[in-house]
Structure 1
Amino acid sequence: MPAASKLTRGSGNVPLHTLLLRTYLQLLHSRPVLTKSLTSGILSALGNLLSQKIEQRRKTKSTTENVDLVALLRFAAYGLFFTGPLSHYFYLFLEQGVPSSTPMAGLRRLLLERLIIAPAFLFLFFIVMNFLEGKNLNSLNRKLKDSYWSALVMNWKVWTPFQFINVNYIPVQFRVLFANLVAFFWYAYLSSTRK
């Protein structure tokens, strides 16, 4: 591991949160894809864990039920191998393909993300989760038929304002983190409001 990624205290007795932020920024600079992938994996797993705990508490008024570790690992794997790296390259492509100097850049970025990337990314999510759950192609077809369109419409409704902010105002190196944090809190919110 390079020296830049080691957690060490400086001579000024730096608070831990400052040290962690500094280390994260150094890793983001030195190993952006790996850092974003690990962050996506961790936040995806934590979001799933929080969702499970909220769901358990809502159903049984208790948090003593076991955590579905397999589901946790599925979400971690999806974040690590798909969300992190694909989002990293997409946001770089978007920055270079539609620079801020382009007329109506903000709208063009948003439309590209919402009309092309979001449907493709959601489709990929269904495919990967189906595979990780050990289900067959018939199951995937049923799930796509029953849930894909409603999930995409919900994605457009919920994510459009956040993605407008993300692709136009968040610095490119923080866009994956921003999207992961929004997803984390959104899934927690959904779990807490489900009836």
Structure 2
Amino acid sequence: MPVASKPVPGRSPLHTLLLLRYLQLLRDRPILTKALTSGILSAIGNLVSQTIESQRKGQKSQKYLDLKGTFRFAVYGFFFTGPLSHYFYLFLEEAVPSTIPLAGLRRLLIERLIIAPAFLFLFFVLMNLLEGKNIATLNHKLKDSYWSALKMNWKVWTPFQFINVNYIPVQFRVLFANMVAFFWFVYLSSTRK
């Protein structure tokens, strides 16, 4: 019969220490913590996606990784997704307190009909800028891809955002959205043909 491992007195497991440290940073430096989390998860999601894509094509992943693309996603996550989402979720709590009638639906409608289209537009503009492309290229991308991307965003993200804006504590909403985005990005990469 195997002997059960016993915790060392006075020592917490590593995952507990990491969680406690994250919660402390979230309390002490919420914007920086959410910015770092967004930047790191965006970069890792992009790397995993590229790796899956290159393996599907039978390429050696190191040789075909677009590290500039990964850097662009990290920059977008750090400077835009993390901080803007932090302020948006705080605003939503103030503007639509849970005590008013249909608060959950109102929060969802604000996020889905105002914030999601604006955030997607910002993504297109900033990625175009970070790629060094011109306005004509941006206009072409917007014309060709924006509406289909927005419809897909509404289709996929609506249930997650309903949960996020109504059931996830406000300090964890950016992390929740980042995790959903990460797994969705990886899922899309693994199912692409």
Q: Matches of 2:76 and 2:31 in 1, distance apart? A: 14
Which of the numbers 172, 179, 182 marks the counterpart of 2:180?
Answer: 182
Which of the numbers 137, 146, 149 marks the counterpart of 2:135?
Answer: 137
* Structure 2 match to 1:148: 146
Q: Matches of 1:154 and 1:105 in 2, distance apart? A: 25
Q: Matches of 2:106 and 2:141 in 1, distance apart? A: 31
Q: Matches of 1:90 and 1:107 in 2, distance apart? A: 16
Partner SS state of residue 65, structure 1: helix
Greater than 6 Å deviation, 4+ residue runs: none
2:169 paired with 1:162: no
Q: Matches of 2:97 and 2:163 in 1, distance apart? A: 15
Counterpart contact for 1:56–1:65, Cα < 8 Å: no
Q: Tell which structure's C-alpha radius of gyration is larger.
A: 2
* Structure 2 match to 1:91: 89
The change in CA–CA distance for 1:189 and 1:94 in structure 2 (over 3 A counts) is same
Counterpart contact for 2:54–2:64, Cα < 8 Å: no
2:37 paired with 1:17: no
Aligned length: 186
* Structure 2 match to 1:116: 114
Q: Give the TM-score normalised by the residue count of structure 2.
A: 0.94
Q: Give the TM-score normalised by the residue count of structure 1.
A: 0.93
Aligned pairs for 1:48-67 (under 5 A) are: 48-60=46-58, 62-67=60-65
Partner SS state of residue 42, structure 1: helix
* Structure 1 match to 2:78: 80
Counterpart contact for 1:49–1:72, Cα < 8 Å: yes
Partner SS state of residue 174, structure 1: helix
Q: Matches of 1:177 and 1:191 in 2, distance apart? A: 21
* Structure 2 match to 1:36: 34
Percent identity, please.
75
Deviations 1:52-86, CA, capped at 9 Å, x for gaps: 00100111165453421101100000000000000
Q: Matches of 2:176 and 2:125 in 1, distance apart? A: 24
* Structure 1 match to 2:5: none
2:192 paired with 1:194: yes
The change in CA–CA distance for 1:166 and 1:56 in structure 2 (over 3 A counts) is same
Unaligned runs of 5+ in 1: 1-9
Question: How big is the alpha-carbon RMSD for the aligned residues of Structure 1 and Structure 2?
Answer: 1.3
Counterpart contact for 1:44–1:75, Cα < 8 Å: yes
